[in-house]
């Protein structure tokens, strides 16, 4: 029997050191400024993206990997006798899952499993990490799939954006359009539910919004259970550290993974975003 290999896409926003340590295969999405097309995290870094975003008069657009890109990866991995579990951004937010499913018709799909995480960024990333750790320890395909499905069902992500402009223009706003037209200094707190962006609350001022995010996490977790967690940010590390100060004390959380959002996710949230992803152990 071959190994179990974990594939994901660049919207997982996984730190590179974890990708390398756990032998995760990352398929990049693309971000486009006019005719300039960049592979997410390959041809353009987060900092380069933020710098260019400040100079442009228009927002970038994004696109999913083609089925052919997935075919090349699936063929390479299955040729060695490995099984592949390919875990991706919510199908409500991107066509990436559909591209991966289309690719399975072109390869030996009996050993390729496509998973819609229903999430994004490190909401997806924490599931991928749990799967990759189990695979590295020699778990069977069935066992890794059980781990993935449990985390897809029970993990959650909460995030705060500076403006809904990016989500609206990118067509990913979902039910959060009820927040449009909010007063100045209102901070929308959002989550993903059934793979779609949905509103939780709108809070006046960043400080109160950070406190409220911590309260929400406390209400959604059990003190007796351990959780993996990741703190995510774009261009506002100081705000993220304020969230960390509120989140970490008193929670049964492992030391949070600090993850910077990639260009594709920031194309839809804007760079001024912070959030937290939580997944039960």
Could you tell me if 278 and 232 are in contact, meaning their C-beta atoms sit under 8 angstroms apart? Answer: no
Do 74 and 141 lie in a common domain?
Answer: yes
Do 275 and 167 lie in a common domain?
Answer: yes
Do 141 and 160 lie in a common domain?
Answer: no
Residue 230 lies in a domain: yes
CATH number at residue 267: 3.30.1180.10
The answer to whether the predicted template modeling score (pTM) of the entire model surpasses 0.85 is yes
What is the rounded end-to-end Cα distance, in angstroms, of the chain?
28
Do 161 and 126 lie in a common domain?
Answer: no
Percent of the chain with pLDDT over 70: 90
Count other Cβ atoms within 10 Å, centred on residue 50: 18
> Residue 40: beta bridge partners?
44
Do 147 and 213 lie in a common domain?
Answer: no
Do 170 and 254 lie in a common domain?
Answer: yes
Do 103 and 163 lie in a common domain?
Answer: no
Do 187 and 108 lie in a common domain?
Answer: no
Range of the domain at 236: 156-280
Could you tell me if 66 and 85 are in contact, meaning their C-beta atoms sit under 8 angstroms apart? Answer: no
Do 215 and 79 lie in a common domain?
Answer: no
CATH number at residue 11: 3.40.50.10170
Cα(152)–Cα(128) distance, integer angstroms: 10
Residue 39 lies in a domain: no
Q: Which residue among 90, 122, 153 closes a domain? A: 153
Could you tell me if 254 and 229 are in contact, meaning their C-beta atoms sit under 8 angstroms apart? Answer: yes
Residue 45 lies in a domain: no
Do 214 and 84 lie in a common domain?
Answer: no
Phi, psi of 115 (to 5 degrees): -120, 125
Q: Which residue among 153, 185, 214 closes a domain? A: 153
Tens of pLDDT, residues 240-259: 999 999 887 766 666 899 99
Tens of pLDDT, residues 83-140: 999 999 999 999 999 999 999 998 877 899 999 999 999 999 999 999 999 999 999 9
Q: Which residue among 95, 128, 153 closes a domain? A: 153
Count other Cβ atoms within 10 Å, centred on residue 8: 27
Per the structure, the count of domains in the chain is: 2
pLDDT category of residue 63 using cuts at 50, 70 and 90: very high
């Amino acid at each position: 029997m071959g190994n179990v290999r974990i594939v994901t896409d660049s919207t997982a926003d996984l730190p590179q050191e974890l990708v390398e340590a756990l032998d995760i295969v990352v398929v990049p999405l693309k971000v486009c400024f006019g005719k300039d097309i960049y592979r997410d995290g390959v041809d353009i870094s987060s900092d380069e993206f933020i710098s260019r975003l400040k100079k442009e008069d228009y927002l970038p657009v994004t696109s999913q990997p083609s089925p052919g890109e997935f075919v090349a990866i699936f063929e390479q991995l299955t040729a060695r006798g490995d099984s592949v579990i390919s875990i991706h951004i919510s199908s409500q937010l991107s066509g990436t899952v559909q591209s991966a499913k289309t690719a399975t018709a072109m390869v030996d799909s009996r050993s390729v499993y496509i998973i819609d995480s229903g999430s994004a960024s490190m909401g997806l990333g924490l599931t991928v990490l749990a799967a990759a750790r189990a695979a590295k320890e020699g778990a069977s395909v069935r066992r890794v799939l059980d781990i993935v499905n449990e985390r897809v069902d029970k993990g959650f992500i909460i995030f705060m954006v500076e403006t809904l402009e990016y989500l609206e223009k990118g067509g990913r706003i979902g039910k959060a359009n009820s927040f449009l037209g909010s007063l100045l200094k209102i901070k929308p707190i959002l989550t993903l539910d059934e793979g779609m962006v949905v509103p939780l609350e709108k809070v006046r001022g960043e400080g109160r919004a950070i406190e409220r995010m911590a309260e929400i996490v406390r209400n959604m977790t059990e003190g007796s259970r351990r959780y993996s967690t990741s703190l995510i940010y774009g261009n506002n590390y100081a705000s993220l550290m304020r969230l960390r100060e509120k989140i970490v004390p008193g929670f049964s959380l492992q030391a949070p993974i600090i993850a910077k959002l990639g260009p594709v996710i920031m194309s839809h949230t804007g760079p001024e975003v912070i959030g937290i992803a939580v997944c039960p152990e």
